[in-house]
Structure 1
């Protein structure tokens, strides 16, 4: 049994809200903004994947995330800026179902935003909402994250959130840092 089975109704209706953002499940109508995100070379620089070149690839990504909602009860969420009403990126937790750095079936925090929305605090704001959801609603004891060693922005955000670097692993595109945040450390920081 997966750790979230008792929370299925709450997860099915999942939408998180912050002062400036709405985090909601992806819809098929998000495909154009998702393609804008995933076709941007700056966004994809530290992901280990080439920028997408066909909008049909973004359709597949959205279907994959929607399948994660069904299979795992959780997945990355579309981030909507309240002021503009635009999808500006994605953020949230997903269940790692394939091993990364020796870990599987653990919650992983991630985020990705369009460059024009970098430096506005949106990654931090959305990550805090996702961590609160993970620790409070999913009753997670530890949440993990990883970032490319050269991605200074992501590494800074993870440290600011209270994540501790606990290891490194090598991917085809370089070294990644592995982080973890324990529940008791999040609520006391």
Structure 2
């Protein structure tokens, strides 16, 4: 099943708005508090919260620009360090997640960067009690290989996300929650590849994708 491009763009916009609502809302609330607060210690604390919310919002926007956007200005290949920084920013507020980057290639095609970022995002959200997020990827002999491994005391991956990653859109369609998974599936499928997701075993889950480089 395929999804209308306009509908899919709307789904991605819905996800962006949902994920940015919390930090942007915190900024608005903090500014309202400053208007009424006169205690200097409390105002200092509010400024700290404003800085945190602003940093979180900026990190998410940088991540989404690469994960969902056209990545303008990078050419056909993107410096892999940009993806590393984007993932670091995404998980920066979650002190329970340790991030390991195992990508030796200096640059990867835009499509590969999107697969890396979206798989990393989906995997990090499955670490409900924290753990380790390890991301690897390489381009060899005209093929891209991406591996994302998570390890933690409790791993929960929505069955709908798993099904969308491996099989694409279901009969009931794509939702804002599964939009990133659908994007990964379509990029990999269009490049003649496949996405695989292991079952959690010994508190470990692996997401993998192999597809043709463009």
Instruction: Please report the TM-score for the alignment, with normalisation by the length of structure 2.
Output: 0.29
- Which structure has more helix as a fraction of its residues? 2
Structure index of larger Rg: 2
Instruction: Please report the TM-score for the alignment, with normalisation by the length of structure 1.
Output: 0.31
